Structures are given as structure tokens and as C-alpha cells.
Amino acid sequence: MKKAIKLIALVVSLVGCAAIAEAQQPKKIPRIGFLCAMSGPSPHTEGFLQGLRELGYIEGKNIAIEYRFSRGKTDPFPKFAAELVRLKVDVLVVASPAAIGPAMRATKKIPIVMAQSDDPVKSGFVASLARPGGNITGLSSMAPELSTKQLELLREAVPRISSVAVLRNTSNPAFPLQDMQKAAQWLGVKLQTLEVRTAEDLALAFAAIKKARTGALVVPQDLIFFDYQERLVDFAAKNRLPTIYAWRNFAEVGGLMAYGPSDKELFRRSATYAHKILKGAKPGDLPVEQPMKFEFVINLKAAEQIGLTIPPNVLVRADRVVRQKYVAEKNGEKEPDYDPRM
């Protein structure tokens, strides 16, 4: 009997020690890979981190993030995607449409969240928006609908135009050429499509626009045009060419107009996908979400420089109006002058 009691006591003691040891072991912190085209902290990372905080995650405490920034270049994407896969991150968040392909080629197992994608179905990333399939899901930036809306806004802002040029990256399969052609025909304007992949291509496009005396320009949503932001804005200003861009920061630095989904909101929503996957959801079962918040920005200083008066019915629809290029420098960073319209 005494031996039996000692044996039971020993077993209880061992079980208790094991439970204490298990409780003392640090809980595994999930790791997210964040593959981004920017050079560092930006509205992209800010939006993503905000989304995580709203879901109860604090970086460094209960979530770890492995960042890879390509500084506006596409060449590093395959290398960075492979690095994050080797680190065995739990979820891979892809913050650039150009990085989705390299991420998908790098892994078929690790869940991938598209923080933004032009047209994921047309690009072959997902089977459908409702049922993506595979190891990928996320958000679409509605490139086809976006481009036609940009063309409409440009036509309303400059009613007299009869021709519009649009820049096109031929390596982007999601470029909505047919949608834009239909919209141009409906609006009664001639569409001039110019292919751009290199700086030399851009120079040729500028020459073609000047030769044809094209009335306006659309710069669509494509990472390649970030590299040429200054050249694009300067060309439009010097040639008094009304131009609409896909990103609001183009209007902030002197471009005439910008219309597109809120980047910060897209990235905030991408955190929700990462959260669901970390809780056990399969990415292929999570429908691809389309943006719900868009931003229309007008730069009145740019309009003044090219001799354009924005019609009141267009101006009143702007979410933000930039009254001048910059008004102050704070902490070494230039701040645009905004007139918010909510």
C-alpha cells in the first residue's frame, strides 16, 4: 500500500512539474512576412499595423513581422519572397501587385494575402473573387473600373478635350485596354495608347504626345510609374497637359488630379485576412474583397499653372483639395496643404 501511495505521489509530482514547465515555456509568436515595393515605413505599413492593432496585435509582443522593402524596384521580389519562405513565416502579406507572381512561385503552402492587386482573376492569381482557391486571397484594387472612372473624371474636368493618352506597361496582363477603349468611345474622345517599360520608352511617349497634340493624359495604377513620378509631373506641367494619376501622392507633389482606392484602407483590411488565416481559416475559402473607400484629390495650384479652371461640379466631389504644392516642412518632411472634404 505504501509503495502504491508513493507511486501515485510520484506520478502526480511529475505531471505537476510538466504542467509548470509547459506554462513557463514562452508561447510561440506568429510571424508575418511583409513584402513591399516601398523603401520603408509608408501609408502601406501604417495601414497594416493599424489593422493589426485593431485586432489586438502588437508588433514585438504577440506578433512578429519580417519586412522586405524593394525600394520601388521589382527585381528583388523573387529573392525576398524566397527569403521569407525560408524563414517559414505563418502568413505572407504581399504589398505590391508586381510581387504576387514571385510570391506564388516561391510557395504553394504558406498562405498569401494580396494587400492590393489590379485584376487577380485576369492575372491568373485566383480562380474567382468568390472562391480564390489555392493558398492565396486578399484584396483587389479594381483596375478596370478604376481606369474608366479616371477617364470620366478627366473628361468632366476638361470638357473641351478630344483626345487622351494613356500610358501602358506591356508586362502587366491586367491592364484594362478594352475597358478604356469602350469608355473613350462612349465619352467621345480618341484614345492614344503608349507603351512604357523603360525610361527610353517614356521619352518616346512624351514625344508622341507632343507630336499628336494630345489633350490630356492618364497615368494608370502600375508600380513602374512610381520610378518616373517627378518626370511625369514635370512633363504635364511644362506642356500644360491635364493629367490624372492613380495615386494621391502624385497630386500631393504637383500633379493635377488623382483618383484611386485608399492605399491605407486596403492595407488596414489586409490585416483582417492575416488574422483570419492565423486563426485557422484557409485562404482559398476567403473571398477576395474589393475596395470600399476611394480618394479623389485635386491640386488647384497645378490647375492654375496649366491655365485650367476646375468646374465647380467636379471640385465639390473631391475628397481633398491641395491649395499649393507645399506649405511647411516638419521634422525634415514636406507636408502638403490639404483642404479636406469629407
**Tell me, what's the pLDDT at 158?**
94
Domain co-membership, 99 together with 47: yes
- Helical ranges in 134-176 per DSSP H: 143-157
For 46-70, what is each residue's pLDDT tens digit?
899 999 999 999 998 999 999 999 8
**Domain membership of residue 133 as a residue range:** 31-141+263-285
Question: SS3 for 272?
Answer: helix
- Mean of pLDDT values over 160-181: 85
Give the H or E element holding residue 170: none
The pTM for the full model equals 0.78
- Residue 17 within a domain: no
- 162 C-beta neighbours (distance < 10 Å), count: 10
Q: Are 193 and 313 in the same domain?
A: yes
Q: On the CB side of 205, how many CA atoms lie within 13 Å of its CA?
A: 27
Residues 312 and 208 placed together within one structural domain of the fold: yes
Name the domain count of the chain. 2
* Domain CATH for 171: 3.40.50.2300
* Domain shared by 255 and 163, yes or no: yes
In a domain, 191, yes or no: yes
Give the pLDDT confidence of 90-108 residue by residue, as tens digits.
Answer: 999 998 888 999 999 999 9
Query: Confidence class of residue 26 from pLDDT cuts 50, 70 and 90?
Result: low
Residues 135 and 105 in one domain: yes
What CA–CA distance (Å, rounded) separates 146 from 222? 12
